[in-house]
Structure 1
Amino acid sequence: MAGKKVVDANEEVSSLKKEVKKLRLQARSSGVEIKGGGVRSTGNDEAIACIMHEHEEMKAKVEQVAGTAGRIQLLEEEIKLLKQMREEALQEAQVWKKEALRPGNKRGCIAMTPDSKLKSHLPTTPAKSIARPAGNPMELTQLHRLEVASLKELRLQELNRRREAEQELDKAKEAIARMEAEKTRQTSCSNLRERMEEAAGCTVQRTGKGKKKVTVGPAGAKENDREGFIKEARREFRNLKKDDVMEICAREGVKYTTLQETIDDIIGRRVELAFGDPKDKGKIAHVEISDDLVDDRVDGQDVNDGRDSVSS
């Protein structure tokens, strides 16, 4: 197509040249002579100007046609290149399609819609499903019973494990309670003088021989230990339930009445076992302590071996 347009442009240029020659001949016949690029007027100047103007127009048209022919040629080359690229892409797609449809290909699972011409449904009778033989009802019943028995056994094992864990927890709680009771019975003061001064209701008097006469009242150190023991016991019974309290009653020989009264009875029995009869609370004990013994006792250890100055 581009070659044809170039040929047409060349023909048009040759026709224009012929027309220019023809005009020159007409100008000569009318008395105008053109030599060596110069124009010598022998007749009508207007005819010469008209011819020159037409010549310029023809020249511009020729240049325009030549430029258009060049652009058309470039476009044709580009179209040709695009067609070639399209053909290559189609060939590559066809190759990939054949590779995907090749039997035994494991590199991909491309779902290709088959051509409608290849679809052919032959009228056939659907095959009957194979009937499975029914099992023996007695065997099924036996299997069901075995399953139920195994589930019951697993349930009993779980309950036994839970009961053992609860018993171990109760034993641990009782051990902790005993340890706390023993801890509250022990004295927390490291110095005998600080212990006697911190006890509530005690009076200290000087004797004539440099000794101190300490009178311990009912609100003394033993009473403080008793109160601490009672607080710890109540803290122990704070989160216990009725069943736990009944087990403790059976273990310690306390009769169960109501929850709070039974807890009070158990605590009272433990206090009585730990500190004796609470009726002796009002008695006052008189203890004489030597200054040397008080000063030499450091961190609960007696430094002066063999010097026992305490008399009760």
Structure 2
Amino acid sequence: MAGQYPVRTCYTCGSTSHFQRDCPRRAFGCAPATGANATPLPSLTLPAPNSVSASATSTANVGYAVPNYSFQPRPNWWKMNQEKLDRCYARTVTDEEKEAKMKEEEERKRKLKEEDDRKEEWRKEQERLEAEIWARLDKRMENVCPKLKMKEDDNAKLKEDMERLRKENEKLRKLLLTSEGEVGEDSGSKLQREIAELKRQVAAKKSADDDIFAMKKEIEELRVSALSKGNFEAELEGLRTEVSRLKVQSLKDKEENELWKGEALRSGNKRGNIVISTPDCAVRGSPQPRWTDNLRDSDKWRQEYLKMKEMHRAAALEAEVLKDKQVVAEGEVFKLKEQLQKQPEGECSKQRTPGATNLKTRLEAVATRSARKGKKATPRRCLVDDATSTGDANGRFLYIEEQKKDLRN
């Protein structure tokens, strides 16, 4: 009968609770506990419980030595790394917040410094302006009332005079009380003269005080105007930029107008000076896209002002073009009148020179009739007489006037 199967243990630590692949000491370089280096233990000399299993018992007792190793769990490296990562992240966030706070503090200090510098510049400007205003006022005061320069001396003299007059008045009053009637009458007339002189001096002083009050009021008005001056500087800067842009646009429009005029007056142009279609102008708009739904109320008037300025500029260009065409048309009418005056009567009905064509005249007649919405020109009609030429010129002038009205509307 076969013997008992030997007990299987871990090759690394000799434990019977797990295999080698689950041993916690496998990765630490410990020598495996195999049967080759195990110390055999002597078997006990007790009788076997039965004769059948005696050999099996002896065979089973001769086993492998099981060393007594304490179980050490495997450390959780993932948790340790996660905690370290959390600490690093917390430190990084703290440093970033501290740096952001430092930047905000520096920005706040910089803004405060800029505000202080701006206030200091504004204060210096105010002082300079006040100095200029006071200089101008002093100059005007010298021209208006030269005596105001010695105001303190005049006041001191006036006080002395009033004190002297008061003493004299007291003296005269005592004389009036003690003297007779004649002497009293002479003293009373003298007192009346002194009182009149005092009234005159008081009136002069009051007029001088009124002049000083008017000057102070003018100083306040100049100070208010100086304060309102700073609000217009930014607006003036924007208007200067807009004027420069409009100048550049005007130069471009002039170049385009000259190019169009050269093309219209070219010798090979069959149309000549006839306007077949409505003359067009530059596009009333800007190629740059603009937002109109987020404009402030204070900027809407500026947009309207720019729009009206652009429309006015386009209308001025159109008027210039139409004026040039009107001058050309008037010149043609004048030439036709001179030709009609030079030609004798009756030559209009003569036969035309063979080889010539009246295509240009017929096109002019068609364009004039279409513009006036009248009857079409009669073919093979003599258009050289005085009445027909004058009618063509008048029709062209009326057409130009109608186009001007359409462009204005």
TM-score range (shorter-chain normalised) is: 0.3 to 0.5
The TM-score with structure 2 as length reference comes to 0.26
The TM-score with structure 1 as length reference comes to 0.33
Structure with a larger share of its residues in helix: 2
Name the larger-Rg structure.
1
Structure with more contact order per residue of length (Cα contacts < 8 Å, sep ≥ 6): 1
